[in-house]
Each structure stands twice: as structure tokens, then as C-alpha cells.
Amino acid sequence: MVPSAGQTMQSVRVALAQQVLQRNLATLERRIDEVIAAKPEAVDLVMSNVQLIDSASLNWMLAMRIRLETAGIQLRIVNPSPVMQDVLLATRLDSRLTVITAVVEENGQETGNGR
């Protein structure tokens, strides 16, 4: 399961697969290496499809946050699935990572709601 990626003007979006496991981290690591070379302001990990994540991947996210911050790039968790929101809350990672959930306004526009 290879993550797909899209790019906005100031950030690079990396969509994660349904399962984020230690065996998939090498693929993510290569993608992040490419992103760092592009020097965006932020990396958005889109987690709307994530249904399963292991502890190695949670630790990887923390290590990646430090690595990106060293390069002057912010790591943001975008649209975490309900399962992922529960994991972030239970592990208290929601207080250590920037989490942005989409809020759909009446006109159908989505706006970010950072925590």
C-alpha cells in the first residue's frame, strides 16, 4: 500500500493507507525524504483512511516531527479518521502533534480546525 501524495502551495500532502504498520514505514520514509528536498512549509499527513496503526508507526510520527522541525518544516496530522482520533487522544499524541480536522461550513466549503 503506497501512500498517494498531492501538493498545495505551501504544504505537501501525503495520504496514508488504511493500515500504517512498521513494514510500510520504509515507503513513507522515502516519501518524506523527497518532501524534505522540496522544502515546503509543512507536511500534511492525511489520515482519513487510517483504521489500524501500530506502536512503531506512532513512534515514527514523533521522530518524523522532530526531523522535519529540524529542517524548518511543520508536521500536521490532517483529517484523522475516528479510530485515529481515538488513538491520538488515548496516547496523548494529540497534544504533541498538530492535528487539523476538516469542518464543513453551510456553503460546502471545508476549513481547517487545528488542535
40 and 73 Cβ atoms separated by less than 8 Å = yes
51 and 83 Cβ atoms separated by less than 8 Å = yes
Domains (ranges, CATH) in the chain? 4-114 (3.30.750.24)
Q: Phi then psi for 79, rounded to 5 degrees?
A: 50, 55
80 and 88 Cβ atoms separated by less than 8 Å = yes
More confident residue, 104 or 84: 84
3 and 15 Cβ atoms separated by less than 8 Å = yes
What pTM, to 2 d.p., does this model score?
0.78
More confident residue, 1 or 92: 92
* Partner residues linked to 78 by β-bridges: 46, 100
CA distance 15 to 3: 5
- The cell numbers describing 28, all together, are 513513507
- Mean pLDDT across 82-88: 97
Task: Calculate the average pLDDT of the chain.
Answer: 85
| pLDDT tens-place string over residues 6-53 | 544 489 999 999 999 999 999 999 999 998 898 999 999 999 999 999
User: Other CB atoms closer than 10 Å to residue 110's CB: what's the count?
Assistant: 11
